[in-house]
Amino acid sequence: MERESSDPRPILYMVIPCYNEEEVLPLTSKDFLKKLYELIQMDMISEESKILFVNDGSKDKTWEIIKQLAKSDEHFEGISQSRNRGHQNAVLAGLMEAKDRADITISIDCDGQDDINAMDLMIQEYMDGSEIVYGVRNDRGTDTFFKRTSAEGFYKLLTWMGVETVYNHADYRLVSAKVLREFANFKEVNIFLRGMFPLVGFKSTCVYYKRQERLAGESHYPLSKMLALAFDGITSLSIKPIRMITVFGILVSLLSFIGVIWSVVLHFMGYSIQGWASTTSIICFIGGVQLISLGVIGEYIGKIYLETKGRPRYIISERTDDISAEINTIKKSKNGEEV
């Protein structure tokens, strides 16, 4: 359902996932609001535009801060998930909430590392006809050597696996409502957004920016979560690992067949005594290959199991809209109006 409005300026929703961000949120929320007002004053977006925070089951005071922000300015809104579901599900929840209320959405992390001034170029590209605009880092100077090399290796691995992604793009992107309505038809539970949006199609382009240091607090994306995201990206969008196992299995089978012939020949030549080391090595090698192969195949079967259940990808337990409605009701009752 398309939004009807006489205002030619698009309604923008900034979708910002938050998990335990009580230290940085009071700082970056001011920057987001300032940028929103700048875009409104430049007539690039409608005054109905919003900043939508998605609380991903935070255990600190993040949700209380979001509620206070919603009370302080009408351009702030927030939704809270019933529990922590992960960054990708939090972004998805915000996008799906905004798709029927906004013309465009821009998803961005709340840590202040992504350059919010790149939004100007993103919106301009949208006005020029692009339906998806990817925010792409032009360098990784702020990353540690390990993170830089592992991230670049990850993107190259995805490309080699046949996954269509934008190099050095994370989840800072502009997406039109038209794309989101089509994206809503993607029902998979295992989500890897940076690999899924290219599958939707439509005209797209890139905007390049320099990533900054985190303003406050610590990153909530440790190595374990990065590896889990990488594995989800590969297994959700590529079946190449299973094909590799098949090819590797054929090669091992050929080598084993050659080994059988070799042992038979040695037997008839009178050299049938075999050393325990070679036997043990072969058994360990074949056993290791089988366990690794079963693990990879099991990962795919596990994902099929989750997909067949059709569980909801996110559950919203609370909204700042509800708080605003309660405040308006109280105000009306105080003024003697009929509620």
The CATH number covering residue 48 comes to 3.90.550.10
Label residue 81 left, alpha or beta by phi (over 0 means left) and psi (-120 to 50 means alpha): beta
- Selection from 212, 194, 234 nearest residue 87 by Cα: 194
Residue 228 inside a domain? The answer is yes
**143 and 190: one domain?**
yes
Of residues 227 and 121, more confidently modeled: 121
**Segments in 99-144 forming alpha helices (H):** 118-127
**269 and 245: one domain?**
yes
Residue 129 inside a domain? The answer is yes
> Is a pLDDT exceeding 60 seen at residue 2?
no
Q: What percent of the chain has pLDDT over 90?
A: 29
> Is a pLDDT exceeding 90 seen at residue 320?
no
- Selection from 132, 148, 241, 126 nearest residue 193 by Cα: 132
Q: How far apart are CA 150 and CA 329, in angstroms?
A: 53
Residue 74 inside a domain? The answer is yes
Query: What is the total count of domains within the chain?
Result: 2
Give the chain's mean pLDDT. Answer: 77
Of residues 193 and 53, more confidently modeled: 53
136-146 pLDDT, tens per residue? 888 766 666 66
Residue 187 inside a domain? The answer is yes
> Is a pLDDT exceeding 60 seen at residue 215?
no
Say which DSSP state 266 is in.
Answer: H
Question: What's the mean pLDDT in 328-335?
Answer: 50
Name the band, by pLDDT with cuts 50, 70 and 90, for residue 331. Answer: very low
Residue 5 inside a domain? The answer is no
**151 and 234: one domain?**
yes
Residue 70 inside a domain? The answer is yes
274-290 pLDDT, tens per residue? 554 466 557 656 766 77
User: Model pTM greater than 0.85?
Assistant: no
| Domain span including residue 253 | 240-309
Tokens representing residue 238 in the block: 């590529």
> HSE-up of 265 (CA within 13 Å, CB side)?
6
**178 and 40: one domain?**
yes
**27 and 81: one domain?**
yes
**327 and 187: one domain?**
yes
**160 and 254: one domain?**
no
Residue 175 inside a domain? The answer is yes
> Is a pLDDT exceeding 60 seen at residue 244?
yes
> Is a pLDDT exceeding 80 seen at residue 133?
yes
Q: Which SS3 state, helix, strand or coil, does residue 76 take?
A: strand
> Is a pLDDT exceeding 70 seen at residue 211?
yes
With residue 171 as reference, give the H or E element that holds it.
strand 169-176
**Amino acid code (one letter) for 102:** A
> Is a pLDDT exceeding 50 seen at residue 330?
no
Burial of 313 (0-12, 13-18, 19+ CB in 10 A): middle
> Is a pLDDT exceeding 50 seen at residue 151?
yes
How do 50-55 and 12-18 pair as beta strands?
Answer: parallel
> Is a pLDDT exceeding 90 seen at residue 209?
no
Q: What are the Cα distances from residue 122, in Å, to 99, 245, 270?
A: 18, 42, 76
**258 and 226: one domain?**
no
Name the band, by pLDDT with cuts 50, 70 and 90, for residue 339. Answer: very low
Residue 329 inside a domain? The answer is yes
**204 and 288: one domain?**
no
Tokens representing residue 306 in the block: 């989750």
